[in-house]
Amino acid sequence: MRYVILDRDGVINEDSDDYIKSPEEWHPIPAALDAIALLSKHGFRVVVLTNQSGIARRLYSPAMLESIHDKMRAAVAEAGGEIFDIFYCPHGPEDSCECRKPKPGLFQAFAKKYGVALAGMPAVGDSLRDIEAAMAAGAAPMLVETGKGLRTLDRHPELDVPTFPDLYAAAQNIVFSQA
């Protein structure tokens, strides 16, 4: 089975400095849903790994996060795709957990649950911490310019990872380079 790992905010949906606190605040990035459909149609299982410190900050509950994810899954399904699983870190930056990116804990939890090797697995993110977590886990990081992507490139011009304008362009690369 082939997998693709995606960050959520800034990759699949519009990011917000005020956090995505309800389904009404969740808005897909143009073509991101089609990108997930493309991956799904080509036999990739899409897994989302996302930091959700809004839970630790008491901005929303785990149940509300589940409602947001229900909306995301429904939108992806309507576009013809599927999100196979979602892993999230509910902790804040000061909690020193192992699951908050840039640490690789979410990647390791996914790999353990499904018995998969992370080596070379595409992992698409929009921030330095996404790239660092993928590298620490042995996955193959990719950066999109949506969300915090352009800011990440500006602040870290030394980053030597494949970079794409958006998730659809990254998905095309993944599908056609691994066909």
- What values do phi and psi take at 140, rounded to 5? -105, 95
pLDDT digits (tens, 9 = 90+) for 14-24: 999 999 999 99
Q: How far is 7 from 127, CA to CA, in rounded Å? A: 9
pLDDT digits (tens, 9 = 90+) for 55-79: 999 999 999 999 999 999 999 999 9
87: Cβ contacts below 8 Å, ≥ 6 apart: 47, 48, 49, 50, 99, 106, 109, 110
Q: What is the pLDDT, as a whole number, of residue 147?
A: 97
Catalytic residue (choose from 7, 15, 126, 130): 7
Q: What is the pLDDT, as a whole number, of residue 177?
A: 87
Global pTM value: 0.96
7 belongs to the catalytic site: yes
CATH of domain 2-177: 3.40.50.1000
Give residue limits of the domains in the chain: 2-177
Q: How far is Cα of residue 55 from the mean position of the Cα atoms in its chain? A: 18
